[in-house]
Amino acid sequence: MSTWGDEVSLEYGKALRGYQEVKRGFRVFGSNGPIGWTEKPLAEGPGVILGRKGAYRGVHFSKDPFFVIDTAYYVEPKSEMDMRWLYYAIQYHKLGEIDDGSPIPSTTRAAVYVRELEVPSVPEQNEIGRVLASLDDRIDHNRSLAAKLEAIARRLFKSWFVDFDPVRAKVAGENPPGLADDIAALFPDRFLDSELGEIPMGWRVGKISDFSTNVRVGCAPSQFSAEDFYVGLEHFDRRCLTLWNGGSGDDATSNKSRFAKGDLLFGKLRPYFHKVAIAPMDGICSTDVLVIRCAEMAYREFMYFSLFQDAVIQFVSDASGGTRMPRTNWETLGGYECVVPPKSVSTAFGEIVAPMIETMRQCVSANAALTKIRDLLLPRLISGKLRVADAESLIEEAIA
């Protein structure tokens, strides 16, 4: 038995400017997690970051050297300690939820230091940290894989449907690089003038509503249950087509909208937050989310990436009503003018991208299972109610 004050020191982060403009270097952490980059770290890795101010004060782990701004602490052990175990122990003891009662929710050092904890031997810490980290590492790998696939698909969309690279190559008398002959043959070799500028011959200027529709299927609390997958605006990651998070019907207490697997969910409240994602399964969502379905399956993947474009987000944001809580609507979004390719080109794009999207969905499913296992094992391992060998057996059974 010990106290947190005997085991660790909570070190204040420092004020930092310009971290949002830096694109690489060392991660900068705030109370809620990573917020940017900087050229010089404040602490060596591996390390643990604990939120200090704000309604949500998270716990974060960094393998590499990092910087912490003044809304958070970084944790310095006073003796030898496994940093991964320390990270999970802080989660188990919910240090980020300790509130000193001030108007601005805060976690103070004095309130943390008096709390008691049990500290296992360092070898035992190493084993506990290793087991739980193995699950988190798999979760991180799946997130990274999905992000890479999404980035590839977005680049392909931009090349074909924004920059018209295959058409430009053929205009120059060249073969479109990287395309099979049958796909290259789908693109014309000249441009025509339009109200949106030059567009490939045989393509047309249309609207988003030409290939997609807003599905409006409302449901009352009496029509859903805890088994329903629920999506609110808080579950979206900004600028991410993969929907990693979600809740259950128990989290929903008012009327909602139903959606189906493969629908596009578009956050209409403060649309500049860029909350747009593909539904990984059937479910219910907040009425502040537009449920958009492809009117013709040949344009489904084209629809996903069309509505995800920065230009679309900027358009609906500029046209949104309300100053404090601006909202867009389907009439505005559906009326956005865009270049619509022939069905053959959209189908070819879909055949390339659909397997990527399916892998992204599988990553979501796998992470949900891994997270469930981790959240089950973490309190039992940290409290000593479960031994490492037994935990490893449970993991093997669960992922077999």
The three-class DSSP label of residue 122 is helix
The mean pLDDT of 240-259, rounded to a whole number, is 92
DSSP state of 320: -
Burial of 228 per CB tally in 10 Å (0-12, 13-18, 19+): buried
Q: Which pLDDT does position 57 carry in this prediction?
A: 84
pLDDT at residue 256 is higher than 70: yes
Buried b (16+ CB within 10 A) or exposed e, 307-323: bbbeebbebbeebbeee
Residue with tokens 């430009």: 168
Residue 322's pLDDT band (boundaries 50, 70, 90)? low
Mean pLDDT of 138-146: 96
Report the amino acid identity of residue 205: V
What's the whole-number mean pLDDT along residues 151-170?
Answer: 97
Type of residue found at 271: P
pLDDT digits (tens, 9 = 90+) for 337-376: 999 999 999 999 999 999 999 999 999 999 999 999 999 9
16 and 28 in contact (C-beta within 8 Å)?
Answer: yes
CATH superfamily, domain 207-340, is: DNA methylase specificity domains (3.90.220.20)
If we measure between CA atoms, which residue out of 399, 394, 392 comes closest to residue 366? 399
Angle (CA) 376-226-58 rounded to 5° is 45
240, 252, 321 from 318: Cα distances, Å:
21, 30, 9
Cβ(49)–Cβ(62) under 8 Å?
Answer: yes
Determine the Cα angle at 137 with ends 246 and 14, to 5°.
Answer: 85
Q: What is the pLDDT of residue 105?
A: 80
Please indicate whether the domains covering 2-119 and 207-340 agree at the CATH topology level.
Answer: yes
| Cβ-Cβ contacts under 8 Å for 82 (sequence gap 6 or more) | 122, 125, 126, 128, 129
Model confidence at 131: pLDDT above 70: yes
| Mean pLDDT, residues 43-55 | 91
Phi-psi region of 44 (alpha: psi -120 to 50; beta: other; left: phi over 0): beta
The residues that bridge with 340 in the sheet, in sequence order, are 204
Per-domain boundaries in the chain? 2-119, 128-137+361-399, 207-340
Q: What is the pLDDT of residue 151?
A: 97
The answer regarding whether domain 2-119 maps to CATH 3.90.220.20 reads yes
Which residue from 337, 266, 350, 358 is spatially nearest to 308, judged by alpha carbons?
266
pTM above 0.75, yes or no: yes
